[in-house]
């Protein structure tokens, strides 16, 4: 049957046109629902992918931050010729204060629990370093060295923990 024959048959039978219109309306409503559902699922997938990318970026920034801290602690902070020199200690304390400020600004809105644990660990490390360096004039060289050694051994562990976050399946 051709389209013309079908249209002719519909015209000859009263009431059929209204049934065709009803079926067409139902089909149009179903198609609109399908399209809306498809668009909604696509939007949800896009948002999840965006969040994964943001999460991966945050994990990468945290790793780089921990690496920077680790390099400072292992390197110039522990140079033998600089240990116990008050002016050098205060300069390093200012560096760590700026790092702490940067850490607080960059990760204050992160909702990932595992990253927050690492951020708080790094925050505590920076705070301890700042306190140790600012109070070095009031402590013995042995106490200062012991405090810095504790942070020197903690830094690689923090870096490793941040690396694990970088490669976790959630990111």
Give the start-to-end residue ranges of the domains of the chain: 55-166
Placement of tokens 């810095």 in the chain: 148
Query: Which two tokens mark 63?
Result: 């790793």
* Contact criterion met (CB below 8 Å) for 69 and 126: yes
Identify the pLDDT of residue 74: 83
pLDDT, residue 161, reads: 92
**Looking at residue 83, what is its pLDDT?**
55
Place of tokens 């004039």: 137
Give the predicted TM-score (pTM) of the model: 0.70
Residues of the chain with pLDDT under 70: 77-86, 169-171
Q: Would you tell me how many other CB atoms lie within 10 Å of the CB of residue 83?
A: 15
- Predicted pLDDT at 92: 87
pLDDT at 159: 92
Cα separation, 63 vs 69, whole angstroms: 10
pLDDT computed for residue 75 by the predictor? 78
């Amino acid at each position: 049957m051709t389209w013309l024959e079908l249209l002719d048959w519909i015209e000859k039978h009263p009431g059929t046109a209204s049934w065709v219109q009803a079926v067409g309306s139902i089909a149009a409503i179903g198609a609109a629902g399908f399209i809306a559902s498809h668009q909604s699922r696509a939007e949800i997938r896009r948002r999840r992918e965006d969040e994964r990318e943001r999460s991966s970026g945050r994990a990468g920034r945290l790793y780089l931050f921990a690496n920077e801290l680790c390099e400072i602690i292992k390197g110039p902070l522990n140079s033998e010729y600089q240990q116990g020199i008050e002016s050098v200690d205060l300069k390093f304390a200012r560096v760590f204060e700026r790092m702490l400020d940067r850490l607080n600004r960059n990760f204050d809105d992160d909702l990932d629990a595992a990253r927050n644990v690492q951020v708080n660990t790094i925050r505590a490390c920076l705070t301890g370093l700042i306190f140790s360096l600012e109070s070095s004039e009031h402590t013995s060289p042995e106490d200062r060295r012991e405090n810095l050694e504790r942070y020197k051994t903690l830094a690689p562990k923090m870096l490793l923990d941040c690396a694990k976050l970088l490669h976790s399946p959630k990111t």
